[in-house]
Amino acid sequence: MTEVKWDADLYSRQHKFVYQYGEDLIEWLNPQPGETILDVGCGTGQLTSKIRESGAIVTGIDASPEMIRSAKARFVDTQFFVKDASAFSFEIPFDAVFSNAALHWITRQMEALKCIFNVLRPNGRFVFEMGGKHNVETIHNALKRAMKEEGLGNAIPPEQNYFPSVAEQCSLLETAGFTVSDVKYFKRSTTLEGDDGMKLWIRQFCGFLFRNVSEESRARITDEAIRRLKTKIFIDGHWIADYVRLRIKAVK
């Protein structure tokens, strides 16, 4: 899994669009009263709670202790566990698995898909959305270029986000044993709130790029990337993140 240190408070305050956009993914899931559903990469638990409103019995897992701590504090009537999405199991199978904006953080993708497959009942469904090919490419390229100009090109980590094409992800799902039933690949330009919206976004979602550099270098690299991005994705007074999403429903 790509190494990330999550700021749960910043996530809930500044980046709530992540789970707000995920609300219509629940329509693909179509949860039913009494069903058992697992939310993989549940974050601070907002969508887990939203699914629970259907009458389903929902469990949330996330690799981040900070996120799970926040979820437990917010939603005391739901079970949440710290678990690595590429190495987990449950004794009792689930009717469905849901995941929003989480799979692209997982480098051991096949291991994660096999874990999900194994916790599903026969004919159980897996509904997820993740970053697709070219997701936030403009931002990542600006940061990497700034790192190289800082003389830190060798510090760019080999393990980064996994943003697959439709064909790549469907092939993995089929290899894991799933049958893909529905696919949607689309652009979703996303407004980042505030004048410091891009700086806060980089702080939250790009920390893995900086794990081999000093705080001083990180600040310079971020400032230089933002300077370059200002001419590209600062539009009508707002920062825009060039999101590309991949949404899939698959059946065991």
Residues of the chain above pLDDT 90, percent = 80
pLDDT value at 146 more than 80: yes
- Residue-wise pLDDT for 37-90, tens only, equals 999 999 989 999 999 999 999 999 999 999 899 999 999 999 999 999 999 999
Cβ pair 74, 150 in contact under 8 A: no
Residue 12 confidence (pLDDT) above 90: no
Q: In this structure, which long-range contacts are made by residues 113-116, counting pairs with CB atoms below 8 Å and at least 24 apart in sequence?
A: 113/172, 113/173, 113/176, 113/178, 114/176, 114/177, 115/85, 115/86, 115/87, 115/88, 115/89, 116/38, 116/40, 116/85, 116/176
Over residues 91-131, the pLDDT tens digits come to 999 999 999 999 999 989 999 999 999 999 999 999 999 99
Angstrom distance (rounded) from CA 225 to CA 186: 25
| Three-class secondary structure of residue 85 per DSSP | coil
5 pLDDT band, cuts 50/70/90, is: low
Mean pLDDT of the chain: 91
pLDDT digits (tens, 9 = 90+) for 181-240: 999 999 999 999 888 999 999 988 888 899 889 999 999 999 999 999 999 999 999 999
Residue of 159, 67, 144, 157 lying closest to 109 (CA atoms): 159
CB 240 within 8 A of CB 233: yes
* Statement: residue 23 has pLDDT above 90: no
**pLDDT of 204:** 84
Separation CA 114–CA 120 (nearest Å):
10
pLDDT reported for residue 19: 62
Give whichever of 22-26, 31-35, 160-164 has the largest mean pLDDT. Answer: 31-35
The enclosing H or E element of 250 equals: strand 238-251
Confidence (pLDDT) at 227 = 96
Q: What is the pLDDT of residue 15?
A: 46
CA distances in angstroms from 17 to 88, 116, 127, 192, listed in the order given:
28, 25, 19, 9
Helical pair 166-176 and 109-119, crossing angle rounded to 10 deg: 50
List of domains in the chain = 8-251 (3.40.50.150)
What is the average pLDDT across 154-158? 89
